[in-house]
């Protein structure tokens, strides 16, 4: 039976952003791919990396699988998910684990590829996985979700944002769905009276980007926002945005909405500066990472706003950020925070459900599904986060503004 995802007003405000889990994620440089963590590109290409988060306890261990791109163009996302999950598991184990049992993690590489993600899932099943935190990207997550539904394996994706990722009763997510992000972005701009004339530059070849654009347009009319230009590009043509920027400028756009990934956004900001076009630029979670683009002048991002669930410099994230930097040598992103919250949600629900290591994964799933709707966690990506029966999280939106090369929560 498919779940029905509500897009009512309350859900929109609670689900205003998503963790950009598209399979068409942007590239990352080799240094980022191999940086810091226990899994280097070479290690991940050779196969799985298993990471026990703490010494084994007398109560045994509960095996949790993690799937994401640990190599390839989207490795910055998958490695962050792995590392965020590891920190959460270490903390939980140090505090006594789950009903006396420790968490044992095993991270598998899928390169953001659906077929490889299913192979990773099967590898984890052979290992003895009892619950899944994954997958990281939406395309891969949809493919694996069909397998977990068939097996009755509990699944929580940190960042799979496509609606289909949680269409089955056994699946939940930490991030928000793509459609809700467009609606909430328009609401944020309208309610904060940021602009009345708005242009959109989006990737028409991306389900993620086009889906957000569509719901943004639908909500804009009710927010007193006039869409003065809506200009598309495709994955095959994403280096020259002169035409799109000229049309936005000529139309008198006060704000340019960018439901796109950070690589393309960095190029747009540079070309806009060259044209002396300086509207407000407002992005979504796919823009998270723009300050780390190689050779990008971060001063060009000054004043840029985006909806994102996490800022490493926020007061409530300092402890996590400190641990992450110490362990992996880099600043955590929202994917790391999503995974951290996912593991804590699993632990809280498992405690509620009385999960023990001797239970098979199907029995665990039967116990976890109702327990997920009964818990509340204060996580990095939201305070008092709860889940509904559709697998969707309920939490307040967060927006940041880039000031002095750092995120400032608004």
Of residues 171, 184, 177, the one with CA closest to residue 342: 171
| pLDDT tens across the length of the chain (410 residues) | 333 333 333 333 333 333 444 444 443 333 333 333 333 333 434 444 444 444 444 589 999 999 999 999 889 889 999 999 999 999 999 999 999 999 999 999 999 999 999 999 999 999 999 999 999 999 999 999 999 999 999 999 999 988 999 999 999 999 988 888 899 899 999 999 999 999 999 999 988 899 899 999 999 999 999 999 999 999 999 999 999 999 999 999 999 999 998 899 999 999 999 999 999 999 998 888 898 898 999 999 999 999 888 888 888 899 999 999 999 999 998 999 999 999 999 999 999 999 999 999 999 999 999 999 999 999 999 999 999 999 999 987 778 999 999 888 88
Distances (CA, A) of 387 to 173, 228, 310: 9, 37, 19
Contact 259, 182 (CB under 8 A): yes
In angstroms, rounded to a whole number, what is the distance separating the alpha carbons of residues 121 and 123?
5
Q: How far is CA 252 from the centre of its chain?
A: 33
- Would you call the peptide bond into 135 cis, given omega within 30 degrees of 0 as the criterion? yes
Contact 175, 160 (CB under 8 A): yes
Please give the full DSSP string across 126-176, using - where no structure is assigned.
HHT--EEE--SSHHHHHHHHHHHHHHT-EEEESS--SGGGG-STTEEESS-
pTM: 0.78
DSSP state of 274: H
DSSP strand pairing (131-133 vs 61-68): parallel
Residue keyed to tokens 């899994």: 39
pLDDT digits (tens, 9 = 90+) for 136-170: 999 999 999 999 999 999 999 999 988 999 999 99
Ramachandran class of 163: left when φ > 0, alpha when ψ lies in -120 to 50, beta otherwise: alpha
Distances (CA, A) of 253 to 133, 200, 285, 313, 340: 41, 9, 22, 31, 39
In angstroms, rounded to a whole number, what is the distance separating the alpha carbons of residues 367 and 277?
55
In angstroms, rounded to a whole number, what is the distance separating the alpha carbons of residues 75 and 72?
5
């Amino acid at each position: 039976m498919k779940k029905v995802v509500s897009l009512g007003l309350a859900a929109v405000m609670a689900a205003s952003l998503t963790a950009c889990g598209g399979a068409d994620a942007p590239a990352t440089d080799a240094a980022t791919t191999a940086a810091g963590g226990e899994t280097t590109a070479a290690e991940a290409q050779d196969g799985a990396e298993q990471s026990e988060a703490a010494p084994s306890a007398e109560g045994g261990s509960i095996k949790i699988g993690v799937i994401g791109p640990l190599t390839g163009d989207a490795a910055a996302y998958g490695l962050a998910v792995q590392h965020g999950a590891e920190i959460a598991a270490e903390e939980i184990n140090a505090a006594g684990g789950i009903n006396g049992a420790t968490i044992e993690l095993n991270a598998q590489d899928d390169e953001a590829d659906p077929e490889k993600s299913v192979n990773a899932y099967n590898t984890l099943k052979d290992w003895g996985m009892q619950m899944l935190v994954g997958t990281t990207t939406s395309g891969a997550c949809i493919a694996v979700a069909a397998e977990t539904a068939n097996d009755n394996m509990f699944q929580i994706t940190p960042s799979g944002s496509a609606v289909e990722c949680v269409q089955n009763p056994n699946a939940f997510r930490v991030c928000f769905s793509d459609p809700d992000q467009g609606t909430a972005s328009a609401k944020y701009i309208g309610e904060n009276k940021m602009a009345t004339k708005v242009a959109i530059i989006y990737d028409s070849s991306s389900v993620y980007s086009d889906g957000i654009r569509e719901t943004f347009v639908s909500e804009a009319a009710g927010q007193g926002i006039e869409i003065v230009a809506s200009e598309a590009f495709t994955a095959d043509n994403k280096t020259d945005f002169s035409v799109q920027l000229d049309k936005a400028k000529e139309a008198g756009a006060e704000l340019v909405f960018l439901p796109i990934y950070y690589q393309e956004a960095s190029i747009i900001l540079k070309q806009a500066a060259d044209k002396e076009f300086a509207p407000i630029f407002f992005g979504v979670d796919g823009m998270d990472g723009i300050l780390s683009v190689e050779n990008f002048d971060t001063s060009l991002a000054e004043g840029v706003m985006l909806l994102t669930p996490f800022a490493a410099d926020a007061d409530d994230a300092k402890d996590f950020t400190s641990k992450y930097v110490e362990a992996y040598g880099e600043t955590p992103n929202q994917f790391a925070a999503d995974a951290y919250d996912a593991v804590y949600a699993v632990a809280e629900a498992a405690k509620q459900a009385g999960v023990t290591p001797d239970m098979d994964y199907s029995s665990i799933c039967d116990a976890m599904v109702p327990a997920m709707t009964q818990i509340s966690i204060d996580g990095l990506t939201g305070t008092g986060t709860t889940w509904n029966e559709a697998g969707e999280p309920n939490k307040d939106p967060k927006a940041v503004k880039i000031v002095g090369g750092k995120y400032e929560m608004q």
